[in-house]
Chain A
Amino acid sequence: MILAVAGGKGGIGKTLVATSLTLANSPLQFLDCDVEEPNGHFFLRPRIRKTEAVSIPVPRFRKWKGEVCPAAADFCRYGALAAVGEDMLVFPELCVACGGCFLLCPAGTLEPVDYQVGVVKKAVARSGIEYIGGELKVGSQRTTEVIRAVKDSLDPGRETVIDCPPGSGRPVLEAIRGSDFCLLVTEPTPFGLHDLRGNKKLLDILRVPGGVVINRSGTGYDGIQRWCREENLPVLAEIPFDRKLAAAAARGRTLTDYNPDWVPRLRELRETIKTKL
């Protein structure tokens, strides 16, 4: 089973839920796909044994092979390639690796070269967790390429938990795609409901079944439960608001570290999810 954990905004508790669920049911495989701001390692404390580069093919102009090709530069919507006088300038940080320039140039004048956009780190973390985490290079915008590289590294024979990036945009789509189930973490506020709606739409498009975890519950707002009933979206767990838990999480402690009662509850949550596949 591949279980994705997503949520509308940063700080809603995605990583807390994903790492706690992984620990309680270990040994599982954990994928940190929040590559713009990965933080699963704060909770799981992996010992990195392998770091692999993630690269995209960007063009390099081979002057000695042929003429400058203005058509290719003109084609590039991102301005990553410029035809100036006798030369073609490449701005690899702007390249999205669409490959269009290679098709428009006479054979051989542009050659693809690797340009690093991030890394994938592999490790064994506590409780025998197989940890695979992506990190986007600072300044790069090739988020989905790094997420894809993380997902390509997973061992399909092992049960997996994916910590997704926040929001309902393209990187989240890439992280959830191919999962068997997705837990949506939210909070009992109108903001939480707004983001949850977006996440639910994304799951419908991807045809991935979902369930909701309400974090910081017990604050009096029942809009999430009402909407979930209308949408037939099961609320599978609630984490009561607790300032001490928030402080513990900020120090890298999971739900199971904070209170061992969470271990049987999170094992049960996994069993419940399995019945919904």
Chain B
Amino acid sequence: MKVVVSSTGPELSSTTDPRFGRCSYFVVVETETMEAKAHSNTSRTAMGGAGIQAGQFVASLGAEAVITGNVGPNAARVLSAAGVKVFTGAAGTVEEAVKNFQAGQLNQTSSATVSAHAGMGGGR
């Protein structure tokens, strides 16, 4: 299946980004082959609504699931409307996050795990 991982870099070996709407890259991974393709996140520097724009972009990639650290309320609403499943709690590299996802170690959520604007200022 096709999943999208929020990442700080474009590679499988890049560290995952705990933020969804304001992450640096979206890495699309085909879980059977571990084939990866990165898209830089143009919503990262949006004044507002980053999660909404990122959510629409991810939905347009045709992914079945998103793997990220946390997801805010607006992004959760967009992803849920688009039928994209959300898995939170990702850590380590993109590859490790996908492996953890396959092993069923990530939490599926249909609602926000952080409040709005949590990803501003680096998400720390």
Contact = CB atoms under 8 A, between A and B. Distances in A.
Interface of A: 73, 76-80, 82-85, 87, 89, 91, 94
Nearest to B54: A79
B114 interface: no
Interface in B5-47: 43, 46-47
A91 B52 contact: yes
A82 B55 CA distance: 9
Interface in B78-93: 78, 81-83
A85 B47 CA distance: 25
B81 A85 contact: yes
Q: Which of B43, B48, B83 has the most CB of A within 10 A?
A: B48
B98 interface: no
B50 A89 contact: no
Contact of A94 (B43, B48, B78, B81): B48
B83 A79 contact: no
B47 A78 contact: yes
Contacts of A94: 48-49, 52, 74
B61 to A, nearest CB: 13
A85 to B, nearest CB: 6
Interface in B48-87: 48-53, 55-56, 59, 74, 77-78, 81-83
Contact of B46 (A79, A83, A87, A89): A79
B83 A85 contact: yes
A91 B49 contact: yes
Top 9 A-B pairs ranked by shortest CB distance?
A79-B49, A79-B52, A84-B81, A84-B82, A79-B53, A94-B49, A82-B52, A82-B78, A82-B56
Contact of B56 (A73, A77, A80): A73
Contacts of A76: 49
B48 A79 contact: yes
Contacts of B81: 82, 84-85, 87, 89
A80 B51 CA distance: 11
A249 to B, nearest CB: 34
Contact of A84 (B43, B48, B59): B59
A91 B82 CA distance: 16
Contacts of A91: 49, 52, 74
Contacts of B53: 79, 82
Contacts of A80: 49, 52
Contacts of B77: 89
